[in-house]
Structure 1
Amino acid sequence: MRTHVLPDWLRRLLMRSVGHRYYSLVVSVIAFAATITFSFPFVAVLIPAVLLAPRRWRTLGLWCGVASGCGAAVLVEIFQYLGWEFILVRYPELVHSEAWRMASEWLQRWGLVAMLVIAGSPMPQTPALLFCALANVSTPGIMLAVGVGKTVKYLFLAWATAHYPARFVRYH
């Protein structure tokens, strides 16, 4: 059973670019876009990307982590620009979710270290980013915390995918 099927256009993009030297950049742009839009979990792209080019696992993990950190900083700036009222109207369920409660509690207690942990974990990071934006947390600090957390997470997943591909074939 294939649980994480990529859209056809995304699969074609990865297949067309895998042989080129800019493949890691293409995957990084996807990581950046996935972070800004929070429309799908980027891991569903990272694993097939590493399966297609297992020798590039280091550059894919590193570049995608940095791209996610930059995307998180842009998303926080967008949230700050749009304001609290816009967010409540568009995403009312977000501020009432368990993820929101946990993220806000952690961020109040531990600050950007909590953001680093959230970014490196399977927890959804969007509620934490929204909380950071509304609390006027430093954007460069968020970029660094998310970048480090995602880089560690993506490097580990890329390493595991490259070294144990049979466990990840269902994502391809």
Structure 2
Amino acid sequence: MNTHLVPDWLRGLLIRSVAHRYYSLVVAVIAFVTTITFSFPFVAVLIPAVLLSPRRWRSLGLLCGVASGCGAAALVEIFQFLGGELVLARYPELQTMEGWQLASEWLQRWGLLAILIIAGSPMPQTPALLFCALANVSSLGILVAVAVGKTAKYLFMGWATARFPARFVGYN
């Protein structure tokens, strides 16, 4: 089983930057980029980042949560700029995803609280963000909801990785 979701160049960047005092900011930029591009789950980067520098789990969790919130708000703005039709034409599978159905139900029922819950859970947040863009939900609200949800999730993952590293060594 291949647990290495992180590309080699990204793993090399983490290893080269771990000794620098801006390491947490480098990882936060990666969180922003992975959120805005939805290229792969950021937790696949967070776990090795914490394993490389366990004492920084708090700063990594906080900065990466805020960076993910900023990335989500930027992604909603991009979706709104491009228009829902263009996005759905480019990614038609989004409408048939189970995550899309669940996210739309939750958003209609609970609003931004649903985004906070989705951001803090293992569910994919991109369908929910696209739905928010189509519904013209406030980007500031998205930023806050995703930042709070992701910060809680990343702080927990960072704490667990720093506290019980042997459980996560396979991700490094």
Measured against the shorter chain, the TM-score band is: over 0.9
2:112 aligns to what? 112
Identity %: 77
**Equivalent residues in 2 for 1:46-61, closer than 5 Å:** 46-61=46-61
Q: Cα deviation per residue 1:59-113 (whole Å; 9 max; x = unaligned)?
A: 0000000000000000000000000110121001101211100000000000000
Cα distance, 1:5 vs structure 2: 3.9
Which amino acid in the other structure matches residue 13 of structure 1? Answer: L
Give the partner amino acid of 1:87.
V
Residue 14 (structure 1) aligned with residue 14 (structure 2): yes
Partners of 1:7 and 1:101 lie apart in 2 by 31
One-letter amino acid matched to 1:124: P
The aligned counterpart of 2:95 is: 95
- Counterpart CA distance in 2 for 1:130 and 1:155 is 26
How many Å separate the matches in 1 of 2:5 and 2:95?
Answer: 29
The residue number in structure 1 matching 2:123 is 123
Q: Point out where structure 1 has 5 or more consecutive residues left out of the alignment.
A: none
Shift of 1:2: 4.4
Q: For the residues of structure 2 that align with 1:142 and 1:30, how far apart are their CA atoms?
A: 19
The alpha carbon displacement at 1:129 in A equals: 0.1
CA distance in 1, matches of 2:105, 2:25: 35
CA distance in 2, matches of 1:44, 1:113: 25
Q: How many pairs are equivalent?
A: 172
Counterparts of 1:99 and 1:48, CA distance in 2: 27
Q: Is the 8 A contact 1:2 1:171 kept in 2?
A: no
Q: 5+ unaligned residues in a row in structure 2: which ranges?
A: none
Deviation (angstroms), 1:32: 0.1
1:29 alignment counterpart = 29
* Partners of 2:6 and 2:139 in 1: CA distance: 31
Q: CA RMSD in A?
A: 0.8
Tell me which residue corresponds to 2:162.
Answer: 162
- Write out per-residue CA displacement over residues 112-137 of structure 1, whole angstroms, 9 at most, x where no aligned residue: 00000000000000000000000000
